[in-house]
Amino acid sequence: MSQSKKRRSTGKVTLADVAQHAGVGTMTVSRALRTPEQVSEKLREKIEAAVAELGYLPNLAASSLASASSHTIAMIVPLLSEFGCADIFAGLQQVLQPAGYQIMLAESQHYAEREEKLLTTLLPHNLAAAVLLSSEHTQATRDALLNYPIPVIEVGAICADPIDMNIGIDYVAAMHQLTQTVIARGYRHIGLLCASQQQWIVQQHLRGWHKALLSQHMSPHRVLNTARRASFSTGAQQLPEFLLAWPETDALVCVSDELACGALYECQRRRIKVPTDLAIVGFGDSDISRVCQPPLTTVTLPHRKIGIQAGKTLLARLHDKAWLPVESIPATLSLRDSC
């Protein structure tokens, strides 16, 4: 059901708000921020405390663009090479560019503190909205975005406590569906191979995994998690360790196609027949999953659809039309010969 959600604030925290909170005049606050050397240390500390408490960010464009409507949207991603990032960006562009909006891309390199600094730099520039390809933020980032009256949309995965809007994949449901499919095909000693991912995605994978196995009264203990990045070499290196710990394993669920294909290549090297001796499934439906031998059973993640829907939701929000604060875009299974 469509829902129109009110803005979280009636306006930005102003210089006057800071002055009132600190018990000084607006000119004093302006002087402390612009030329702090002209203000006493005691007064400067008092004003800085008020700025931090209220979450005030000076609008650097206010003097020249006070009556202008911004058409710039900031998008911060962990890495530009992050799986799905390009497709989400393309989906956003497909919707927002014809409407006159431009997307400014920046990467946090998987550091929440760097995301915080980027937002502190970008927010004062009169943004129309912010798009975040993550749901792990510092408290300062959350506070700043809650105090700043622009639409904020977290994309990629459904999260428990969104800042404002959230559109993405329910990784719990996707992993549950994949694991249930492996169980339905008769496998009983199933393992899960994980690699370095954002913690909130790992947690969703594990919840879906446990839910599927426990519902069938099967043990979910066969889990190997490595700090290495999800890659072909990591999958190949971790398979022997996995089979050494649990030699009875008859099916291996991998949290990425790269891990799965690396394990598949290692099976070929060791002359382990897939899926006769060991079934392998992946996550992502990358190009390699379709051409490896045997082709990989995997989960198709609708990243471009997420970008398109996020763009539509932002436009609706910006034009005061009906919109949904949280939307889950379902993933689908691609059933192939590896399971």
For residue 4, the model assigns a pLDDT of 36
Domain with CATH 1.10.260.40 in the chain: 15-58
State the helix-helix crossing angle for 26-34 and 15-22, rounded to 10 degrees.
110
Per-residue DSSP letters for 275-286?
Answer: TTT-EEE-SB--
Of the pLDDT bands very low, low, confident and very high (cuts 50, 70, 90), residue 11 is: low
Is pLDDT at 223 greater than 50 in this prediction? Answer: yes
Helix (H) or strand (E) holding 86: helix 85-96
Q: Which residues of 227-247 are buried (b: 16+ CB within 10 A; e: fewer)?
A: eeebbbebbbebbeebbeebe
Rounded CA-CA distance 97/174 in Å is 31
- Residues in a beta bridge with 106: 76
81 half-sphere exposure, CB direction, 13 A CA radius: 3
199 to 79, 194, 206, 237, 304: CA distances (angstroms): 15, 11, 11, 22, 23
Q: Which residue is associated with the tokens 């700090």? A: 227
Phi, psi dihedrals of residue 25, rounded to the nearest 5°: -85, 160
CA 232 vs CA 197, 259, 269, 333: distances in Å: 15, 5, 14, 21
* CATH top-level class of 70-168+304-329: alpha beta
Runs of H (alpha helix) within 216-256 = 232-245
pLDDT of residue 60: 52
Residue intervals in the chain for CATH 3.40.50.2300: 70-168+304-329, 171-300
What is the reported pLDDT for 42? 85
What is the gyration radius of the CA atoms in the chain, in angstroms?
24
Return mean pLDDT, the chain.
88
Domain 15-58 is found in CATH 1.10.260.40: yes
The per-residue pLDDT for range 157-203, each reduced to its tens digit, is: 898 889 999 999 999 999 999 999 999 999 999 999 999 877 778 88
Domain 171-300 has CATH 3.40.50.300: no
Rounded to two decimals, what is the model's pTM? Answer: 0.76
pLDDT digits (tens, 9 = 90+) for 98-132: 999 999 999 998 888 999 999 888 888 889 999 99
